[in-house]
Amino acid sequence: MADQPTPFERFIQGILPENPVYRQLLGLCSTLAVTNGLKPALTMAGAVMFVLFSANVIISLIRNLLKPHLRIVVFTLTIAAFVTIVDRFLAAYMYQMSKALGPYIPLIIVNCIIICRCEVCASRQSVLTAAADAVGQSIGFGLALCSIAVVREILGTGMLAGFRVLPASWPSWTIMVLPPGAFLTFGLLLGLVNWIDAVRSRKKL
């Protein structure tokens, strides 16, 4: 147990060094699906943060009671409960957003980021570490979603979060808000992140 990451290390790792989207390539289904605008991306990031934080804390609290062969059942049960709460909450208080996100909120249940954090961190480490881990990973996920959403929404519609940022004469590249735009943007940004990383590690040597 001695060489396990501290809460602060867990927090920092989630944001950039082990970013769930750019480094671990997890949760890509929702990443590609909800990044056609900044607002849905932020809503998704918030929902994932709530679910991940709650699930991590609960799993960490009961980690000593977990049986190895039943742990996945417990993870899924916990995650599903919190996802359903988020889904109902959005339908009650953010009805239009809930309609726009459609099935992608219920699909957080199968978002690998969360089950991965339960397995890697929450089921082994203290509540504080698990909470810090959840916040770090959620911020990392949120930043990744926003980076893709900003590019797609601006190029696709000339607007950001509903406000016009490019002149009206901008010939909105509609493809950017369609599914191909998600793959294009994500691929290019992933390449960019890798390139920056390569340049930085070369400088260190």
Give me the residues that bind other proteins (CB under 8 A), please: 36, 62, 65-67, 70, 73-74, 77-78, 80-81, 84-85, 88-89, 91-93, 95, 156-157, 172, 174, 177-178
Closest contact distance (angstroms) between CB of 9 and other proteins is: 29
Residue with Cβ nearer other proteins (66 or 131): 66
Q: Closer to other proteins at the Cβ: 93 or 205?
A: 93
CB closer to other proteins, 8 vs 95 = 95
**Rounded to whole angstroms, how far apart are CA atoms 58 and 170?**
49
C-alpha 59/C-alpha 41 separation (Å) is: 26
Q: How far is the CB of 78 from other proteins (least distance, A)?
A: 7
The two structure tokens encoding residue 2: 């001695």
Nearer to other proteins, 34 or 132 (CB): 34
Q: Is the dihedral of CA 79, 81, 82, 86 positive or negative?
A: positive
Per-residue tokens: 122: 């929450």
What's the full length of the chain, in residues? 205
What's the min distance (Å) between Cβ of 55 and other proteins? 11
Q: How near is the Cβ of 135 to other proteins at its closest, in Å?
A: 22
- Is 90 within 8 Å of 42 (Cβ atoms)? no
Residue 166, CA atoms < 13 Å, CB-side half-sphere? 16
